[in-house]
Amino acid sequence: MSNAKSFVVAVAGATGAVGREMLKTLEARRFPVSRLVALASKRSAGQKLPWKGGEVTIEELGPKSFEGVDIALFSAGASVSREYGPIAAKSGAVVIDNSSAWRMDAECPLVVPEVNMSAAAKRPKGIIANPNCSTIQMVVALKPLHDAARIKHIIVSTYQATSGKGQAAVVDLMEQARAALDDKPITPSVFPGQIAFNVICDWKAGEADYSEEEWKMVHETRKIMGDDAIGVSPTTVRVPVVNGHSESIHVQFHRAMKAEEAKSLLRNAEGVVLMDDAYAPGKHPQPAHASGTDPVYVGRVRDDIAVPGALNLFVVADNLRKGAALNAVQIAERLFA
């Protein structure tokens, strides 16, 4: 890595929903890119994407794609990351990977800049992992509370947008919704069942009757927070929302915490927007408002009725931005820019 003030940045998976958001985020945040290398599969090579008032041409991802690259942002799926991540790192690039490939690798730090940026300094494989979208927004909201009273147990239920499954999933939602409104049969193309006007659990099965997505929230939260004793009880659900994940969180501490203390901590927390008005219908964080924005919105912070010293809160964020592209670019910013 040179000491230059601008960097050669590669985006692997540039044509995907998160890859496109990475390009937008790099441009919007004026990341010092001297040259952008947009990479995708052979079938996408030659396509053009908007970049800084002009266009960038997609190149086919290959073994020599990372020569001269300083920073490689990956969002092309776990199999691609496992194959090309080490190649990019060996070429001299710092790899920031958005897939699940390296998240639980002991030699790859799992980083959320507002929570554990210092972990990025030690990266034996040259690879930094971006956490799962649902985990990122939860730990940004909970880290200030954990620092103050140490979290004992989290119960989290998610309401996850279709864009988290890719652009094809958004199209599937729209097509299903049109069919339902026209009173026609619904034929899912991406989801395992009806998502229009319905909620489903659509992730692969994991151990003990939990989904893979639920296990990600368990293991990633502990790794990011640096505390294997934190209990995490997750239920992840997909809802018919285009963009923006929501989470209902119950949290218990080793030292009792009241809602007012939590609000005072969250008010000045980095990356957080606290919505602390008293409860009223419609006055709470919503994906429709969070979509297209950077912060993690926290609202409905209240003392638990049944468990003294525990709290309940509602957390919403744009899953393509803070849950993916923005988090990766923020890591790059803090390392180099």
**Which are the catalytic amino acids?**
133, 245
Q: How far apart, in Å, are the Cα atoms of 190 and each of 159, 163, 169, 268?
A: 18, 12, 6, 41
Report whether 296 contacts 140 (CB < 8 A): yes
What is the separation, in whole angstroms, between the first and last Cα of the chain?
12
Q: How many other β-carbons are positioned within 10 Å of the β-carbon of residue 95?
A: 29
- On whether the CB atoms of residues 277 and 309 are closer than 8 A, the answer is no
CA distance 107 to 103: 9
320 closest CA partner among 239, 242, 217, 215 = 242
| 266: region left, alpha or beta (phi > 0 left; psi from -120 to 50 alpha) | alpha
Spatial contact of 70 and 8, defined as CB atoms under 8 Å apart? yes
State the DSSP code for 238. B
